[in-house]
Amino acid sequence: MPNVIIIFLLISSCLSAQQTLLFSEKGKFKVGGVDAQGNCYVIQRNTIYKFNKQGQVDFNFSDNSKGNITHLSCSNPLKITALYADQGKLIVLDNTLSPVGAVIDLHAAGISDPIAACAADDNGFWVYDAGQGKFVMMSWSGIKMQESTDVRRLFSKAFFPTEMTMISGNLLALSHNVGVVLTDNAGNIVKTLMTSGWVVSVGENGIYSASETGIVVQDVFNLSESVITTDMKGVLKFSMHFPYILMQYEKKISLYLLTAQD
């Protein structure tokens, strides 16, 4: 197995780890995320699968009446959000992929073009409305609680978040045209961080920017960086919750475990 080297720049120490393949599953999947226990959440057309770290499907969810799932967030494994952007509907699932409450009609709540969503630390969720250029906080019952100003005016390029997550009470959103933005508790952008990787992800530890030879982990608050040297060739998307990395390839997904070596 290849070795993975993690260099913590602030303390100038070096940790060597081994990358171990836990499972691979053939098929065209889209990565939704991986949690602290190594459970993997992936989409295949209109079905969500939850794989355990042994590669077994523990649970699945599908609703044929709403079309394909366009965005999935498992940043809170007890409040997984599945977005059907074409119909403006959002379903909340628990850790067994069972629906929690009624389907939320975002169009009826005034969200004209929802493209990404995630559970918030408070009693609700964030959704980005591309039609109005606003981050909107919704209650779990589908009531609009607060919204940001139009964030599009801050950028010369189009702003379309593809990933959203919460980090220390703040919303973190990734737009490949712009970078990663950090908001305050009202959804207004307070910081924009540029990324250099060709595949970028956001997670509970910050920003993950990948090149073919490794991943840079950036802390969004103190701007420290850790470098993970590993083979990322062929990876279209990935999700990381250390020590687990879930990688999406063209025709398979693979889960790896990073373990420290003496």
Q: At residue 7, does pLDDT exceed 50?
A: no
Q: Is the pLDDT of residue 52 over 70?
A: yes
- Checking if the pLDDT of 198 tops 60, the result is no
Band of pLDDT at residue 17, cut at 50, 70 and 90: low
The whole domain housing 126 covers: 3-261
| CATH code where residue 40 lies | 2.120.10.30
Q: What confidence score (pLDDT) does residue 220 get?
A: 67
Rounded-to-integer distance, Cα 143 and Cα 109, Å: 7
Q: What is the DSSP string of the chain?
A: --EEEEEETTTTEEEEEEEEEEEEEES--EEEEE-TT--EEEEETTEEEEE-TTS-EEEEEE-GGG----EEE-SSTTSEEEEETTTTEEEEE-TTS-B-SSPEETTTTT-SSEEEEEE-SSSEEEEEETTTTEEEEEETTS-EEEE---GGGG-SS----SEEEEETTEEEEEETTTEEEEE-TTS-EEEEE----SEEEEETTEEEEEETTEEEEE-TTT--EEEEE---TT-SEEEEETTEEEEE-SSEEEEEEEEEE-
Region 234-239: what's the mean pLDDT?
90
The model's pTM is: 0.87
Confidence label for 11 from pLDDT (cuts 50, 70 and 90): very low
Cα-flanking dihedrals φ and ψ of residue 244, to 5°?
A: -105, 140
State the total domains in the chain.
1
pLDDT in tens, 122-163: 689 999 999 999 999 999 999 999 999 999 999 998 999 999
Residue 70 vs residue 176, higher pLDDT: 70
Confidence category of residue 262, pLDDT binned at 50, 70, 90: low
pLDDT tens-digit map of 25-37: 999 999 999 999 9
Interval 168-191 mean pLDDT: 88
Residue 49 pLDDT > 60, yes or no? yes
pLDDT tens digits for range 64-93? 888 899 999 998 989 999 999 999 999 999
- The pLDDT score that the predictor gives to residue 251 is 96
The reported pLDDT for the residue numbered 122 is 67
